[in-house]
Structure 1
Amino acid sequence: MTEDLRRRALDALTAARTRTAVLTDCVEDGELTAQHSPLMSPLVWDLAHIGNQEEQWLLRTVGGRDALRPEIDSVYDAFEHPRATRPSLPLLAPAEARRYAGDVRGRVLDVLERTALEGSPLTDAAFAFGMVAQHEQQHDETMLITHQLRRGPVALTAPEPPVHPPEALPAEVLVPGGPFTMGTSTEPWALDNERPAHRREVDAFWMDTTPVTCGAFRQFIDDGGYAERRWWAPAGWEQIRTHGIEAPLFWRREGATWLRRRFGVSEEVPADEPVLHVSWYEADAYARWAGRRLPTEAEWEKAARHDPVSGRSRRYPWGDADPDEEHANLGQRHLRPARAGGYPRGASPLGVRQLIGDVWEWTSSDFLPYPGFAAFPYREYSEVFFGPEYKVLRGGAFGVDPVACRGTFRNWDLPVRRQIFSGFRTARDAGVRGREGA
């Protein structure tokens, strides 16, 4: 059992570092040190930050080793320096950042080999190693966002998502009311905000079978949705008016055609693909226009995990098995969402599709702790973000690695954010009708 855990931790760390190399080796040094958007760090900051966090948690804390580069701790402290100011810091140059991260990793592998994976909350079930692998994968997703924002030649390529035979799917699925188990107390690498497992009561509701598509969102645009104040939360209306927002980020209109920029490629917006790069305010406005609403976080998790036959909550919509390429669009295998309705093997027991992968899905819920929450292993991972300022996203996107995505995983962001790989689906109370055709 211990050797299985050691192998799992090694595989997770190796997969993360392989992906980091893909994201940083595909561009010249000038692109690594440039800031492509004030919303994002230079790629080279993320690279060294990954190594520094690994050094602090796995070498120093778990391994008890002496610090390699204590003088750079403050430079790569994400709470000390906002992203917009990081280019002015004394950052490690690309070659030095790579050497540093590689040196740390070599020593970490020795720590992993020598550490008893039991006896403390940090080492039980290799938690600290899983936490660091998830941290690196989360920064890999952040770097992928930076690649989407950067201008210039195409640097990343990937095959297209699989195309499944068309099916006549219902527009929505009824999720029955009643209690279910939300969160987890048993998932070994679950992070503190996913814990503990607790009972939630949810009234019956209808949920979209698939995420809202670009074609459906175009109907909202064509109907003047961005010009109608009544659909928007006050702060959302102020946001779109102040910044002249009239469509999802990266969209532009040429005559009657909508185009978008995707990782350096200009292409026509695909009508049957889940809409991407929309803020919470845009998702909420669309839902109001459609006579519907965003699902709560509890509703989303019940639709994704609850098995109405057994009454238990699964790890994933399809069951307890780890995701593979037939279940979900994850891990940067593709650089876009699959068509709406894809991945039939990943459907929930009720038939809801694409709850894991493709696009992060905004919910209506604020990011708040579960009953019995305890910060671990540090307050800054979750606790300092709790409150109404942040909205919860669920399900992961095509740029999320499976190690950092599960039925209980919680993401959060400010409701104005659009550069993230965010989409949504809508819901309605049982018995409440929505807009015809929306």
Structure 2
Amino acid sequence: PGIAEVAAYRAHVDRAMCELLGREPAPEVVELVTLGLHHEQQHQELLLMDVKHLLSANALDPAYRDTAVDDRPATPLRWLEQAGGLRTIGASGDGFAYDNELPAHDVWVEPFELASRPVTVGEVRAFVDDGGYRRPELWLSDGWGRVQAEGWEAPLYWAERDGEATTFTLGGRRPLVDGEPACHLSYYEADAIARWSGARLPTEAEWESAAADRPVEGNLLDLDRCHPTPAALAGDGPQALFGDVWEWTSSAYLPYPGFRTAPGAVGEYNGKFMVGQHVLRGGCCATPADHVRATYRNFFPPPARWAFSGVRLARDLEPR
């Protein structure tokens, strides 16, 4: 169909939905419509990632839209001690949540340290310069196989142009900014960078326990930047937990204890994807602020690089 037919079909659906909702539909219909709206938000985010990936294949490096460049330096990395203990993980049932956030359950978390901000472009450049993509000892076996098979030498979209290190953005190609959170990293790259740094990735329970009392604010879609920006120093807690880049965790994407798939087509929404993927947390610069929360579980396969994905480091707390 052409664009006129697509627009006409959209208008038809909009009219039908407005008519349905104007008749005080049954609660189960409201639940389905609410799920559909949140699902639409997911696809709007994915569309921005897809547009960027498609435009990056054009030799002219076209811009999708204007994006501002924030070249502030990164804030100093600090290690923030996180208390251990029994933590309730998952959604409480108040307000909307996807079925993969349920049921809430208790998880024991050992004391650990969490990095105050995500890993930056400058830190990943140091990893590259240190031969990170040529050192098999830093990589998981599957990850090293992917590096060799696909010829990875740097994160996706990085390239040298006229002797300058650059990356591709929704605003076109531009020089790398060392203070920005590093983006478009696969799980394999995140894990290798953590190992090179003498650290590790946090588990999703550790990430959620650190984020549970933090406000959902940051470089999200509502700020209309559509690109990660250097973290601003904000109090004593973790910076940029929400927005900028989805943060890889070491946790496999699996059902929570007691998870049950819903009957019918809705039951296929998450459950059938719970294999061979890893959990990411926190949203990104293309995520609407009212879409993400501390319990939100995103997931991608380990080799995926096209998403706005990055890494925040964690460390085991040494016994005293």
Normalised TM-score (structure 1): 0.67
Preserved CA contact (<8 Å) 1:297 1:363: yes
Measured after TM superposition, the shift of residue 353 of structure 1 is: 0.9
1:253 to 152, 155, 160: 160
Preserved CA contact (<8 Å) 2:252 2:277: yes
CA 168–337 in structure 1, closer or farther in 2 if over 3 Å, else same: closer
1:354 to 240, 251, 259: 240
Aligned residues: 311
Residue 363 (1) aligns with residue 265 (2): no
Measured after TM superposition, the shift of residue 160 of structure 1 is: 5.6
Structure that is richer in strand per residue: 2
1:328 to 208, 215, 218: 218
Give the secondary structure class of the aligned counterpart of 1:375.
Answer: coil
For CA contacts below 8 A with separation 6 or more, give which structure has more relative contact order. 2
Give the alignment of 1:280-299 within 5 angstroms: 280-299=187-206
Unaligned runs of 5+ in 1: 1-91, 306-313, 433-438
Residue 142 (1) aligns with residue 30 (2): no
AA aligned opposite 1:385: F
Residue 211 of structure 2 corresponds to 304
Give the secondary structure class of the aligned counterpart of 1:110.
Answer: helix
AA aligned opposite 1:351: G
Provide the rounded CA distance (Å) in 1 between the counterparts of 2:26 and 2:95.
12
Give the secondary structure class of the aligned counterpart of 1:114.
Answer: coil
Measured after TM superposition, the shift of residue 167 of structure 1 is: 9.3
Preserved CA contact (<8 Å) 1:330 1:397: yes
Preserved CA contact (<8 Å) 2:64 2:172: no
Give CA deviations for 1:327-364 in whole Å, capped at 9, x if unaligned.
2111261121121236x3xx7xx601111111001110
Q: Which moved more, 1:131-140 or 1:222-231?
A: 131-140
2:259 to 352, 373, 388: 373
Residue 230 of structure 2 corresponds to 339
Residue 270 of structure 2 corresponds to 382
Measured after TM superposition, the shift of residue 272 of structure 1 is: 0.3
Give CA deviations for 1:113-171 in whole Å, capped at 9, x if unaligned.
222464xxx34xx432221111111111111012212236323235567x99x896552
Residue 113 (1) aligns with residue 1 (2): no
Give CA deviations for 1:101-122 in whole Å, capped at 9, x if unaligned.
221112112212222464xxx3
AA aligned opposite 2:138: W
Provide the rounded CA distance (Å) in 2 between the counterparts of 1:113 and 1:269.
50
Give the secondary structure class of the aligned counterpart of 1:403.
Answer: coil
CA 94–376 in structure 1, closer or farther in 2 if over 3 Å, else same: farther
Provide the rounded CA distance (Å) in 1 between the counterparts of 2:170 and 2:186.
19
CA 168–336 in structure 1, closer or farther in 2 if over 3 Å, else same: closer
RMSD of aligned alpha carbons: 2.2
Give the secondary structure class of the aligned counterpart of 1:189.
Answer: coil
Provide the rounded CA distance (Å) in 2 between the counterparts of 1:224 and 1:252.
16
Preserved CA contact (<8 Å) 1:134 1:403: no
Any runs of at least 4 consecutive aligned residues in structure 1 with deviations exceeding 4 A, and if so which? 158-161, 166-170
Structure that is richer in helix per residue: 1
Provide the rounded CA distance (Å) in 1 between the counterparts of 2:259 and 2:104.
10
2:6 to 78, 92, 97: 97
Measured after TM superposition, the shift of residue 250 of structure 1 is: 0.3
Residue 221 (1) aligns with residue 128 (2): yes
Provide the rounded CA distance (Å) in 2 between the counterparts of 1:237 and 1:196.
36
Larger radius of gyration: 1
- Identity between Structure 1 and Structure 2 (%): 38
Residue 146 of structure 2 corresponds to 239
AA aligned opposite 1:404: H
Provide the rounded CA distance (Å) in 2 between the counterparts of 1:353 and 1:249.
24
Normalised TM-score (structure 2): 0.90
Provide the rounded CA distance (Å) in 2 between the counterparts of 1:187 and 1:394.
20
AA aligned opposite 2:230: R
